[in-house]
Structure 1
Amino acid sequence: MSTRPHIIIFNPDQMQCDALAHMGRNPAAQTPFLDRFAGNEAASYRNAYCQNPVCVPSRCSFLTGLYPHVHGHRTMRYMLHSEESSLFSELKAAGYHVWMNARNDFLPGQDEAAFAKHASEIFYGNDVPPAPGPLQDLRGQPGSRNYYSHYKGQLGLDENGRNYSSDDEVVDAAIARAKAPTPNGEPLCLFLGLMCPHPPYQAEEPYFSAIDRSKLPPRVAERAPGSFEPKIETLIRQRQGLQDYTEADWDALRATYAAMCLKIDRQFQRLCEGLREAGIYDDCAIFFFSDHGDYQGQFGLSEKNQNTFEEGLVRVPLLIKPPKGVPVAPGIRDGLVELVDFYATAMDLAGVRPDHTQFGRSLRASLADPAAPLREYACCEGGRLAGEVHCDESHATAPEGARPVNEYWPRMKAQEDDTAHTKATMLRCGKYKYVRRLYEPDQLFDLEADPGETRDLAAAPELAPVLADLRLKMLDWYQATCDVVPFRYDGRMNGEMIWAHLKHRLPPERKAEVMALAARNLPMYRILQWASGESSTL
């Protein structure tokens, strides 16, 4: 390609991979446009894993190509700091016009300079009247079964027969940006960080009634007898109070989530149509993926959790359409990939070299060849050390039973428990998933025989060699990625220190030359070689 492509990133929040109908695991799922997109224009990855199962750490990872542990991005309250670059700051420095909406979940709100560093233009929105809320107050009083379920049900419609949400506003603003010239003709990078299908679970017509509840797959309700359960899930379940939920109740929640995903599908279609109307669609590299997934009733739990790794939480949609000139064989890829690979692929297609060490792998070859090799294993991590209070993410600001209480209170309160919120790491390799928990027992699952992850095999004697191999792979991964060295070299000595070594060899009038060389951050040995006449060039 003679010019750089536009980079378009459509990023729904909390969308499971199985919400995509073309994955074939949820007969009730409806994503018609994404299905056609994958069938005709894009590669869709069946086994794409996020690197942390909550928003901020995941985004700090996929926007830098770094794992959360590298710079300690393990909490919702620790975002990219001033010294850190991202895909956006790097594209901006390379001449891209970077547009994003304000709901990005990776830039710290107190740092205005960070917004200027990573974006050319921020869309703040809320320029339209608020959309109608739910038709009924389903939450009820404290102690009722829906109080912490996040289920809100059907949304109302305005006088125009719509429920025009903040996400709709973002999509339309992005289309308007695509149709307008950039200040100096720069290529565009658009980042749409949407809210849905993040809880609360709520949707309007025609989406709300579009999902056939009779087609929902059976819910994975409980573990096999004797299988270990992480303490945090026990605590969340106790506090969410969903024990009285019937299968019909869970079906209502799951169908509403599917309806929200159907609306996401429609919004993505609208964006793509807008890019075509703008005349730039063929020149766009388009990425559709989510930051993490959702329990959706598995083991009787709603919402998400930061240090457990069920497939519904960590396996996410990832679809990539390259720009014209870059070969693509549309369809599903079954190999393992990680969201850090999005960073590497976007940088590759943009023709921009990263300004820091990163661990993503470009998927360019996989776009062209479905048989191209991908990763041997994929990893995800979360949790904290005991006593790491600044990482407990607790929002429990009111006593239990008070109203109103933050609907996330069951999870946030559980995270105050050091054992429950233990650091944990997942490694998926082949058919096995291994989870290492710092303060609790290990877990091992055979995803082919037990896709619902109900049967923990970590103590099975016959699988001891498998467990040992996966532990070594996790150790290899941590050793290979535990830190990064900055690309910028540091000088061990300043000019005065170097002159102190040379002032007996050189006349005083040469000091200015030495100071100038030191300012260039040249290694001292090279300056000594120059001073002794061993080298005439520097």
Structure 2
Amino acid sequence: MNCIVIVCDTLRVDHCGPYHHGRPLNRVNSPEQPEWVVPTPNMDRLARRGTVFDNAWCGSTPCMPARRDIYTGRYEFLERGWGPLEDGDLDLPRQVSGPPNRSLSWQLAQQYPVSYMVTDHFHLWEQGAGNYHMGYTGFDFVRGHEADAWKTEPVVFPCPDEPDHKVERHHRNVHLTRKSEEDYFCAQVFTQAADWLEANRAHDNFYMHIDCFDPHEPWDPPEEWLTKFDPRGYNVDRWRSMVPYDKWGNHYTPEELRHVQARYAAMVALTDKWLSKLLDKLDELDLWHDTTIIFTSDHGTYNGDHGRIGKLQTHQHDACGHIPFIVAHPTDGHGERRSQLVQLVDIYPTVLAAVGRPCPPDRHGVDLLPVLRDAGAETRRYAVSGMFGRSVTITDGEWILHQSPVPDNKPLYWYGHSTARFIPYDLGPYEGGRRAVDCPSWDTPTWLSDKKADPNEYVNLAEAHPDKLAELQRALASKLAELGAPPEQVERLGL
């Protein structure tokens, strides 16, 4: 069987049709969202062919830590932060396609499936993370998004962001290359993915990984899409394509926040529109009968929730930690929903099972194919997530605990050879396979929420429900031991 994984970066679950069911955003989870409906007919189309998981949670955050979860089937955030794949990582593409630096003829003769990546995600190439593409049989990199150092022509062009911000590269790139909607990055990614399917349809048991950076910032949708949510389009006093990861009231008026929310919604709708390019090609080539598709995101983003904008900065509340997750199998689970807890680490064993390759031991993920066949199949009792050195989240799907570390946030160690080049941490020398870390945590208290009564987690029940708090803290300590987490994590978290 073939397998296609689609990761759309920073995609809020409440903006996806299979989860909002046509309701206005402010009636889904977050009353701070606008009253408009975000149409995603192609996500809906995929959901009708597949199984929608209602309880999907990110693991390691943000972008690249989430990808290491996908590529290794193990949670990264308990051992280190943003970094490249390391020598000992049994990365997914090599588990599919065999050892690197072999010819395609050798690979096919040894009956390894072909693997291919299509992406515009510059972080996959950036210093401090740039080796995630190396295990694939082939790959295609759509140039120019976000901080991609591509075009250097000395031209004068309108740049809505500060000229010394790295996103100036993005605006320079698009000024020199963007002529129509077909040149937007999500359009290029899904078009090239469809073209690869056309040219490679004869391969047996292929694996294609589509890593689409949209709807991650910069948020600069075509004006005709923006006006669907803000009739003013870009005719506003000021706008910036990037957002500060902070309390929004420190940067925006309510009217300006609505414009930011409109640009994000337009990027989601645009990305969904171009998803159709891939789905249409699956129709045309009749690939649904022997292909499993997994559609998800690495995390969401605050967009007014909890008074905040952007990611990071505080606990992984629902707006960030709850993610869309849809699996379309050739025969099982069509049009169905599942309530089991699933996470990004589950992609690893599921892909390997789909393409008929063995899964290495000691993975944290769960093969989801049995859950598609049997609505009663189990995955896990608790899901965990977090950002390295910050709070750690555990949920049973009904209650959720965000456990803050002790005041000095020690002891804390970074495991592995890589250093913190993208998100900086104060790392000590490399000794005995680890580096001591001096890392202040967020100034946020331990937080307990009843997800059924309070889905967007506005009310902290840690003091009102001490028994439930203690229960989940014990569960977290037990889960960390089960995962083989570094033992100092229990001490750092005050458990």
> TM-score scaled to structure 2, two decimals?
0.72
Q: Equivalent residue for 1:503?
A: none
String of CA shifts for 1:445-496, please: whole Å, max 9, x gaps: 1223323322222122xx1111111011101110011259xxxxxxxxxxxx
Aligned equivalent of 2:461, options 457, 460, 474: 457
Contact 1:60/1:106 (<8 A) preserved = no
Contact 1:139/1:147 (<8 A) preserved = no
Q: Equivalent residue for 1:176?
A: 195
Instruction: Give, in whole Å, the separation in 1 of the partners of 2:116 and 2:337.
Output: 30
Q: Equivalent residue for 2:3?
A: 7
String of CA shifts for 1:285-319, please: whole Å, max 9, x gaps: 11111111111122332221176211111111111
String of CA shifts for 1:306-356, please: whole Å, max 9, x gaps: 76211111111111111x3x4223233233221212222222222221124
* Deviation of the 1:210 alpha carbon: 2.6
* Deviation of the 1:186 alpha carbon: 4.3
Q: Equivalent residue for 1:59?
A: 67
* Deviation of the 1:211 alpha carbon: 3.4
In 2 relative to 1, CA 327–141 (structure 1 residues): closer, same or farther, beyond 3 Å? closer
Instruction: Give, in whole Å, the separation in 2 of the partners of 1:310 and 1:47.
Output: 13
Instruction: Give, in whole Å, the separation in 2 of the partners of 1:470 and 1:483.
Output: 17
Q: Which moves more between the two structures, 345-354 or 369-378?
A: 369-378
Amino acid in structure 2 at the alignment position of 1:126: R
In 2 relative to 1, CA 211–365 (structure 1 residues): closer, same or farther, beyond 3 Å? farther
Amino acid in structure 2 at the alignment position of 1:204: P
Instruction: Give, in whole Å, the separation in 1 of the partners of 2:337 and 2:269.
Output: 20
**What's the RMSD between the two structures over aligned residues?**
3.7
Aligned equivalent of 1:96, options 113, 119, 127: 113
Instruction: Give, in whole Å, the separation in 2 of the partners of 1:237 and 1:338.
Output: 26
Q: Helix, strand or coil for the counterpart of 1:467?
A: helix
In 2 relative to 1, CA 20–122 (structure 1 residues): closer, same or farther, beyond 3 Å? same
In 2 relative to 1, CA 127–425 (structure 1 residues): closer, same or farther, beyond 3 Å? closer
Aligned equivalent of 2:368, options 359, 363, 368: 363
Instruction: Give, in whole Å, the separation in 1 of the partners of 2:229 and 2:375.
Output: 31
Please say which structure displays the higher CA radius of gyration: 1
For structure 2, which runs of at least 5 residues remain unmatched after alignment? 26-35, 99-110, 152-156, 232-243, 408-444, 487-495
Contact 1:348/1:362 (<8 A) preserved = yes
Amino acid in structure 2 at the alignment position of 1:210: K
Trace 1:483-522 onto structure 2 (pairs within 5 A): none
Contact 2:246/2:313 (<8 A) preserved = no
Contact 1:13/1:291 (<8 A) preserved = yes
String of CA shifts for 1:202-248, please: whole Å, max 9, x gaps: 211442223379xxxxxxxxxxxxxxxxxxxxx9537xx74362332
What is the count of residue pairs matched by the alignment?
Answer: 401
Amino acid in structure 2 at the alignment position of 1:302: I
Q: Equivalent residue for 2:291?
A: 284
Q: Equivalent residue for 2:398?
A: 431
Aligned: 1:35 with 2:52? no
* Deviation of the 1:425 alpha carbon: 0.5
> TM-score scaled to structure 1, two decimals?
0.66
Amino acid in structure 2 at the alignment position of 1:55: C
* Deviation of the 1:136 alpha carbon: 6.9
Q: Helix, strand or coil for the counterpart of 2:246?
A: helix
In 2 relative to 1, CA 358–468 (structure 1 residues): closer, same or farther, beyond 3 Å? same
Aligned equivalent of 2:317, options 307, 310, 313: 310
Contact 1:435/1:443 (<8 A) preserved = yes
Aligned: 1:209 with 2:227? yes
Amino acid in structure 2 at the alignment position of 1:328: G
Instruction: Give, in whole Å, the separation in 2 of the partners of 1:156 and 1:35.
Output: 33
Aligned equivalent of 2:181, options 144, 162, 165: 162
Amino acid in structure 2 at the alignment position of 1:33: N
